[in-house]
Amino acid sequence: MGELTARTLLAQNLRVMRMMRGWSQEMLAERAGLDRSYVGDVERARRNIGLDSLERLADAFGLSVQELLCEPDPQALGAEMLRSVRRRLPPRGM
């Protein structure tokens, strides 16, 4: 498989980051000051996003634009996803 395009990588990272936080597309759009349908299109790699919108999305996650466009390390991502899931589980014994 070839390299991801910037658009596809951004779409992938947005979806993963949003899901790890338990946010809906609507929540992300609200935090970034963007329309929900626009965020959905960006997540599906259907939009050529502008720099201002890219910065808004990065800010919503507390990341830099560079971090949002960086290809994630699979091991680190897996560990972070596991921690995210565990935070949502009820404590043991309940």
pLDDT in tens, 25-71: 999 999 999 999 999 999 999 999 999 999 999 999 999 999 999 98
| 94 located within any domain | no
Q: What is the pLDDT of residue 62?
A: 96
- Pair of tokens at residue 1: 């498989």
Task: Please indicate, yes or no, if residue 1 is contained in any of the structural domains.
Answer: no
Number of structural domains in the chain: 1
> What is the CATH number for 67?
1.10.260.40
- Judge whether 46 lies within some domain: yes
Structure tokens at 27: 């929540």
Q: What is the pTM of this model?
A: 0.79
What Cα–Cα distance (Å) separates residue 22 from each residue in 32, 48, 50, 69?
Answer: 16, 25, 25, 20
Domain coverage including residue 29: 6-88
User: Would you say residue 93 lies in a domain?
Assistant: no
pLDDT value, residue 1: 46
CA distance 21 to 41: 19
